[in-house]
Amino acid sequence: MRHLPLFFNLMGRRVVVVGTGPAADRRADLARSAAAAVYRVKEASPADLTGAAAVFVATGDLDADIAAKHVANAAGVPVNIVDRPALCDFIMPAIIDRDDVVVAISTSGTSPTLATILRGRIEALLPERFGALARLAKTFRSQANGLIPDPQARRVFWRRLFEGPAASLALSGDEAGARRTALGELDAVRRRLKPVGIAHIVGAGPGDPDLLTLRAAQLLQDADAILHDALVPEAILNRARRDAEFVSVGKRKGRPSWAQADIEAELVRRVRAGQTVVRLKAGDPFVFGRGAEEVDALRAAGLPFTVVPGITAALGCAASAGIPLTDRRFASAVTFVTGQNTDGNGAAWPALAVQGHTLAIYMGATEAAAVRDRLLHAGAAPTTPVAIVENGTRPDERVTTGRLADLARLAAAHVSARGDAGPSLIIVGEVAARAALVHEPLAEVS
């Protein structure tokens, strides 16, 4: 190790920046972020360095840089010279700033680009609110030390605090909930009770595992149990912790399945038993996902939970099929509706059938005839473009295009002999014609 990593407290201390231009500006901004009193000069003099804690030099001229180094060394002030590691008393690492949590990465000045690449990879692993965990620890340190005298038991408590329900709430932005949960866990230690777990209502997106949010991917690695929809593909379940318990609670038309009340009861039971549970729902949990009902059940039971949004099917499938849901030339509005129960809410269909409006219909393949009839009766043109996207974003994606009058015939190709369909989205509106352009074969160039 050629350089010893040290963290200096520069609050209120004088830091001199020598030079002008972007590099000097960046050093000045960095020192100010540490609450230093920054003093800018074009050339360094002994008087400038009186009482200084550090000097940054960024003149861009070798002779000027060397002259500034001599002044700093004579004053006994450590100096950093931009892009000249051989002349530096200290070097600047690549920094990841998460409030009280700071990660510094150095390659001893040999390759700033490599340090930047490493910073990017580590940043992807550290949630933006990671500093909230340090604030949580600061809040409860004295109480934990007083209540848990045994060092080993105290380490177990802190490990759970940083990896368990309180941490999940803090990272989701609910610091008040995190403090309440931490208090409950301290009380459980005092009373020698097993602390409760937490439920995460997580959107799995439209099917491509690479479209999982970072937060969703992290929670899949943390879960003790994963209660997943039938439409969540194996490729996404493979991103979970290998020893997690997988429970399929999906509901499929015409097949035996879990009742919603049973799913909610299972969530409550497992969280009360201390498990970290991921309720993994296709798409987004709050878009035709009944996630609100599960949140209400957990809230009524007084149990902690978080909600992690996912890319809903309309967004993912439309993008994969090359369909802009809004396009200022054709559509200025978009509505998400479900194809199930098409006999209800008849008064709303005329508003959905107007030109300049895109309609994204979930779970509509098996109800295509009813959807077609409703829209035609409401005034939609029979020639309105439609697209059916089955298994959108997945390797077996299939897109069918046509016009509204033929919707039932087009959808028949996406319905199995048993009368059910894979995850399919129907898009109605002028923008749906874009799918045909994207998926038509390219002309050969002679």
Catalytic residue among 25, 251, 373, 406: 251
| Number of C-beta neighbours around residue 402 at 10 A | 18
| Number of C-beta neighbours around residue 50 at 10 A | 11
- Phi and psi of 322, rounded to 5°? 80, 25
- Token output for 444: 């050969």
- Between β-strands 385-390 and 398-403, what pairing exists: parallel, antiparallel or unpaired? antiparallel
The answer to whether 305 touches 299, Cβ cutoff 8 Å, is yes
Rounded CA gap, 381 and 375, in Å? 8
The answer to whether 253 is a known catalytic residue is no
The answer to whether 229 is a known catalytic residue is yes
Q: What is the DSSP string of 179-239?
A: HHHHHHHHHHHHHT-PPP-EEEEEE-BSS-GGGS-HHHHHHHHH-SEEEE-TTS-HHHHTT
Closest by Cα among 369, 374, 439 to 401: 439
Sequence letter at residue 139: T
Rounded CA gap, 343 and 97, in Å? 54
Catalytic residue among 48, 174, 208, 229: 229
Closest by Cα among 169, 185, 88 to 135: 169
The answer to whether 27 touches 15, Cβ cutoff 8 Å, is no
Rounded CA gap, 129 and 410, in Å? 47
Active site residues: 229, 251
